Structures are given as structure tokens and as C-alpha cells.
Amino acid sequence: MRRLAAVLFPLLVLSASAVPAAAQARFQVTPFGGGMVFASDLSDAFSLGDVDFEGQTLNNSVALGVHAGVRFGSIAVEGTVAYAPATMVSISDAEFDQDVKVAVFSDQDVLILGANALFYLPRSSPFFEFFLTGGGGIKKYSQADPFGGWEDGASDPTFNLGAGLQLAVSPTVSVRLDLRDYISSFDPGVGGGEKKTQQDVLIAAGVTFHPGS
């Protein structure tokens, strides 16, 4: 992942200087749907009172959201909202027998708010465009614990790297595919639990509209 970041970020930064001053701005809005793959455990072992937890994970989930921004030639800047109604699984010792493990399921929705830069690679076809993307933002959990809510949830800084494909259907409509890896650090903040790096992979398909084009 560090090698990928070392390649993508210089491309995104250097490409910004290559945007012609006269490039025409085109607004673009992309509602999307897909899936969120939570590739990392949320936390390792920790304790709450007399109960020991082996850890917590998030089940993979559907994901919905929207990208919206403006494009100047081969560069676009856009904001992203992504929502995944996930389920958290906590594995703990049973109160009556510590040799027995109990799985506790609770809602743990994830909301990602971010800003991204997209670099469109030179076209090899009048219909297809490939792009690289990177950016940062905030990842918010709906609850810090099973008794919390959005107001009690945790917020973590996140950055993402990714790539995608855009297929022109008409001058004002395109089909878009995105693959992004959102990277953050989660701190359970209880029972001696340690911070863990999170990698949440968004796989999404959407339709891009260019209003006013």
C-alpha cells in the first residue's frame, strides 16, 4: 500500500500543473451503489468489566452514496458521501462459562465524507476513460458501543486511494465504476484495546451526469 501511495500521489499532484488555464469546467454528479468490504478487524482483544472480548469485526455491507464536483480537462475535484449500513460482531466469553464464546450482533453504520482529486489518463478510446484518485476525509461510526448513537459515535480521519473507469453513453451521461481503499485508524478507547489500521474497500457502480454540458 505504501508503494501504491508513492506512485499515485505524485501523479495526482504533478497532473494538477498540467491542467490548461483555459480548460472548460464541467460539473459532474454521480449517484452510486455497490458494496463495502471491511478488510480489517475493527479491534483486537479488550475487556469491559468482567467480560473479555476477543475482538470486533464489521460484516461486509451494501454501500450507497454520491460523488459531486467539477472537472477541468484531465483533472476533477469532487466531494464524496458514502453510507454503509453495517453490522458489528463482538466475540466475548459467556458469563456462565468462559470457555464458551458468544457472538453479539449490533448495528454499526459507517458514514464517509471526503474530498478527492481525480486524474483521467490519456484516452485510448473515444468512449472509455480510466482514472486514478486519491483524497481524504472523515469516517464516522454510528455508535461507539451498542448503547450509543450517531451523537456518541467515533470519528476518524481517513484517506483513500483508488482507480476507476468511465464509459460515455452520451455527451452528458456516463457509466462509472470505482474501486477505492479507505484507510483509517480505529481506537476502541475501552478495556485496553489498541488502535488498529482499518482498510475499507468500496466497490461501486454509478451513473455520471454532466448538467449544463
- Looking at residue 32, what is its pLDDT? 98
Task: Report angle CA 134, 40, 152 to the nearest 5 degrees.
Answer: 85
pLDDT at 15: 46
Say if CB 175 and CB 205 are below 8 A apart: yes
What pTM was estimated for this model as a whole? Answer: 0.78
For 146, other C-beta atoms within 10 Å of its C-beta total 12
Consecutive 10-residue averages of pLDDT for the chain (213 residues): 48 46 79 95 67 77 97 95 89 61 78 96 88 95 54 76 95 96 80 76 96 71
Supply the pLDDT for residue 58: 87
pLDDT value of position 107: 81
- Rounded Cα distance, 109 and 14, in Å: 36
Three-point CA angle 83, 89, 94, nearest 5°: 160
**How many beta carbons lie within 10 A of that of residue 53, not counting itself?**
21
pLDDT of residue 151: 45
Distance CA 198, CA 52 (A): 22
**Long-range contacts (CB closer than 8 Å, 24 or more residues apart) made by 181-186:** 181/1, 182/112, 182/114, 182/139, 182/158, 183/1, 183/158, 183/159, 184/139, 184/156, 184/157, 184/158, 184/159, 185/156, 186/42, 186/43, 186/154, 186/156
- Domains parsed from the chain with CATH numbers: 2-16+25-209 (2.40.160.20)
